Amino acid sequence: MAKIERAQKLFLKALKEKFAGDVSDVKTEFYNFNDLQQSPRKKEFIEASKKVEKDRGMSMYDPYRCHLGGLPMGQRQLMTYEVSTTGTFVEGDDLHFVNNPAMQQFWDDIRRTIIVSMDLAHNTLQKRLGKEITPETINEYLHILNHAMPGAAVVQEHMVETHPSVVDDCYVKVFTGDSDLADQLEKQFVIDVNKLFPAKQAAELNAAVGKSLWQAIHIPTIVSRTCDGGTTSRWSAMQIGMSFITAYRMCAGEAAVADLSFAAKHAGVIQMASHLPARRARGPNEPGGIQFGHFADMIQTDRTHPNDPAKASLEVVGAGTMLFDQIWLGSYMSGGVGFTQYATAAYTDNILDEYTYYGMDYIKDKYGVDWQNPSPKDKVKPTQEVVNDIAGEVTLNAMEQYEQFPTLMEDHFGGSQRAGVIAAASGLSTAIATGNSNAGLNGWYLSMLMHKEGWSRLGFFGYDLQDQCGSTNSLSVRPDEGCIGEFRGPNYPNYAMNVGHQGEYAAIVGSAHYSRGDGCSLSPLIKITFADPALPFDFSEPRREFAKGATRQFVAKGERTLLMPAK
């Protein structure tokens, strides 16, 4: 283990933008920033609150009275943040999911998605009822389904229906590994694997899917927001059943319909997330049930940037910390509003990016890993010594960067922020070098122990509990204790507690596969479904999308203003 030279400091531009003076200085000025008035966003909040108070006749946002008995924030500089690699500087408030419609849409697009096999239904129609299935009948069925799925009637008289303009994000496409079949289906309904994926990934995915035909279904955003993730399979199954009845002229009450319903609701359904134990009180398609391998497949950067597994992984970190920290642990489980501050550290100011690319330089320099040409061939055997070497060096380098640039430490002012970022870079570097997700997770835990001993601190009261005992479970893969990283998720016993871990774990899992150039991390079906360019949220560039949301340039779906009186 020896430090290597790296000229780039990807975070420097952001630090210079954020902080006046020399970013290497140890000293600065405080208490003279005119408190909240230094922040345009906070000033906007104050003005907005005045209007709200006037309208409703009740007090609201009042930091000059309510914060610390009259002492408002802003005794130090209230920093802006660059959403990493976007060049877009935003205020921290703009990255709270309540203030960011792109973040909401990201989660909406996952929760409202369901993947349903067509093969089981086709078997029922052909073998049980003697119906003929042809590309033409499939096309007709898809026309009907795209009429019905948003909430329109197909069989009965005198039915209520939904307004197309408030459910315009609802649709169904199909995909298959059978290129001949795909060619015979209408282009508007097909997710074209060969066109969307690099050739090697497409070949792997096509082989994995084979001749099966799958429906990628996105129910209306407004439905899943009003109900929950458990609604998605139910809503889709009802419309699928009615569409089959119409397309194949079935009797609405015949017994074979039950087979179609069972296939659409259970047997042929791929949920984006499994339902959670009763104590978590969440159904399927809620964040806590997303396996890390599946989440790594939802993010598409390895498809659009196949030669940069580091970037692909960093996009997973950004998306994952937003979903798992800000929305899942922050709001679903905790109810707090402060989780944003932890999560954003991992996807702002190019800090994690710098530490990770240091790791890339290191594994190339020391182990000859050509990480920009992903392949299983040059991966390093994941021995304990290799894990310790890579994770140890990346950790030491990251700690030294924080020390050498005091403004960098000030940027990540909380220990949990630093811990998550340092360990993520260590885990990603290890996983990319070895192509092994559990080796990456093990690197994470070495990083945590080294960090804690070096600075005699780590995260907050409960944050680092899992990190101090994590070495032991990272390679425990007995069925009654755990499993490999791809199948772990936010509700894995040792991971279910604290902010600043789950998004990074998902990225470590994904990075192992991105570095090998694999077609997917766990599910070819999910990988293909989220490649669809028609989705409102672009899953290949989550951080860019979040930046658009922060600067109020993102147009979300599921809006209902059409139905309300104009103000």
Q: Round to whole Å and give the CA distance between 175 and 190.
A: 6
- Cβ atoms within 10 Å of 19's Cβ, excluding its own: 19
Short-list 419, 360, 454, CA closest to 4: 360
CB-nearer residue toward another protein: 230 or 454:
454
Among 373, 384, 534, 555, binds another protein (CB under 8 A): 384
Residue span binding another protein (CB under 8 A) among the ranges 20-28, 157-165, 223-231, 519-527: 20-28
Contact 510, 313 (CB under 8 A): yes
Binding string to another protein for residues 297 to 316, with x set by CB under 8 A, is what? --------------------
CB-nearer residue toward another protein: 406 or 489:
406
At its nearest, how many Å lie between another protein and the CB of residue 440? 13
DSSP-derived letter for residue 379 is P
Among 4, 16, 25, 267, binds another protein (CB under 8 A): 25
Among 8, 37, 59, 75, binds another protein (CB under 8 A): 75
Instruction: Spell out the residues 6+ positions from residue 565 whose beta carbon is closer than 8 angstroms to its own.
Output: none
Distance of CA 394 to the CA centre of its chain: 24
Among 410, 483, 551, 559, binds another protein (CB under 8 A): 410
Among 221, 466, 473, 529, binds another protein (CB under 8 A): 473
CB-nearer residue toward another protein: 242 or 391:
391
Residue span binding another protein (CB under 8 A) among the ranges 117-125, 230-238, 352-360, 400-408: 400-408
Q: Is 492 a catalytic residue?
A: no
Q: Round to whole Å and give the CA distance between 550 and 544.
A: 10
Please name the residue ranges forming H helices in 321-383. 339-344, 351-367
Among 71, 251, 258, 337, binds another protein (CB under 8 A): 71
At its nearest, how many Å lie between another protein and the CB of residue 345? 12
CB-nearer residue toward another protein: 22 or 365:
22
Half-sphere exposure of 195 (CA within 13 A, CB side): 11
At its nearest, how many Å lie between another protein and the CB of residue 151? 50
Q: What is the DSSP string of 185-208?
A: S-GGGB--HHHHS-HHHHHHHHHH
Among 477, 493, 534, 553, binds another protein (CB under 8 A): 477
Place of tokens 């909406």: 108
Place of tokens 């021995």: 383
Q: What are phi and psi of 449, to 5 degrees?
A: -65, -40
Among 457, 493, 555, 560, binds another protein (CB under 8 A): 457
Q: What are phi and psi of 269, to 5 degrees?
A: -105, 135
Place of tokens 């990319």: 432
Considering 34, 69, 156, 253, which one is annotated as catalytic?
156
Please name the residue ranges forming H helices in 250-350. 256-262, 292-298, 301-304, 309-320, 339-344
CB-nearer residue toward another protein: 23 or 103:
23
At its nearest, how many Å lie between another protein and the CB of residue 446? 5
CB-nearer residue toward another protein: 372 or 476:
476
Site membership for another protein, residue 388 (CB under 8 A)? yes
Site membership for another protein, residue 461 (CB under 8 A)? yes
Residue span binding another protein (CB under 8 A) among the ranges 180-188, 222-230, 413-421, 546-554: 413-421
CB-nearer residue toward another protein: 198 or 454:
454
Q: What is the DSSP string of 203-246?
A: HHHHHHHTT-EEEEEE--HHHHHHS-HHHHHHHHHHHHHHHHHH
Site membership for another protein, residue 64 (CB under 8 A)? no
Q: Is 498 a catalytic residue?
A: yes
Q: Round to whole Å and give the CA distance between 303 and 524.
A: 12
- Cα separation values, 57 from 50, 53, 54, 188, Å: 10, 5, 5, 52
Q: Round to whole Å and give the CA distance between 443 and 255.
A: 55
Residue span binding another protein (CB under 8 A) among the ranges 71-79, 199-207, 259-267, 483-491: 71-79
Q: What are phi and psi of 162, to 5 degrees?
A: -90, 155
Considering 342, 347, 445, 492, which one is annotated as catalytic?
342
Site membership for another protein, residue 459 (CB under 8 A)? yes
Q: Is 123 a catalytic residue?
A: no
Q: Is 462 a catalytic residue?
A: yes
Site membership for another protein, residue 433 (CB under 8 A)? no
DSSP-derived letter for residue 126 is I
Q: Round to whole Å and give the CA distance between 164 and 149.
A: 11
Among 152, 234, 414, 559, binds another protein (CB under 8 A): 414
The burial of 361, by beta-carbon neighbours within 10 Å (0-12 exposed, 13-18 middle, 19 or more buried), is given as middle
Site membership for another protein, residue 501 (CB under 8 A)? no
CB-nearer residue toward another protein: 175 or 463:
463
Q: Round to whole Å and give the CA distance between 530 and 205.
A: 13
* H or E element, residue 529: helix 524-529
Contacts with another protein: how many residues (CB under 8 A)? 53
Q: Round to whole Å and give the CA distance between 95 and 547.
A: 8
At its nearest, how many Å lie between another protein and the CB of residue 467? 11
Site membership for another protein, residue 452 (CB under 8 A)? yes
Site membership for another protein, residue 5 (CB under 8 A)? no
Q: Round to whole Å and give the CA distance between 248 and 404.
A: 70
Which two three-digit tokens encode residue 419?
């811990």
Interface positions, 522-551, toward another protein (CB under 8 A) = none
Instruction: Spell out the residues 6+ positions from residue 172 whose beta carbon is closer than 8 angstroms to its own.
Output: 142, 145, 146, 149, 189, 215, 216, 217, 218
Among 162, 261, 471, 551, binds another protein (CB under 8 A): 471
At its nearest, how many Å lie between another protein and the CB of residue 444? 11
CB-nearer residue toward another protein: 59 or 75:
75
Site membership for another protein, residue 409 (CB under 8 A)? yes
Site membership for another protein, residue 488 (CB under 8 A)? no
CB-nearer residue toward another protein: 75 or 372:
75
Which residues are tagged catalytic?
Answer: 156, 342, 462, 498
- Residues of this chain that interact with another protein (CB under 8 A) are 3, 25-31, 68, 71, 75-76, 384, 388, 392, 396, 399-400, 403-404, 406-407, 409-410, 412-416, 418-419, 442, 445-446, 449-450, 452-461, 471-477
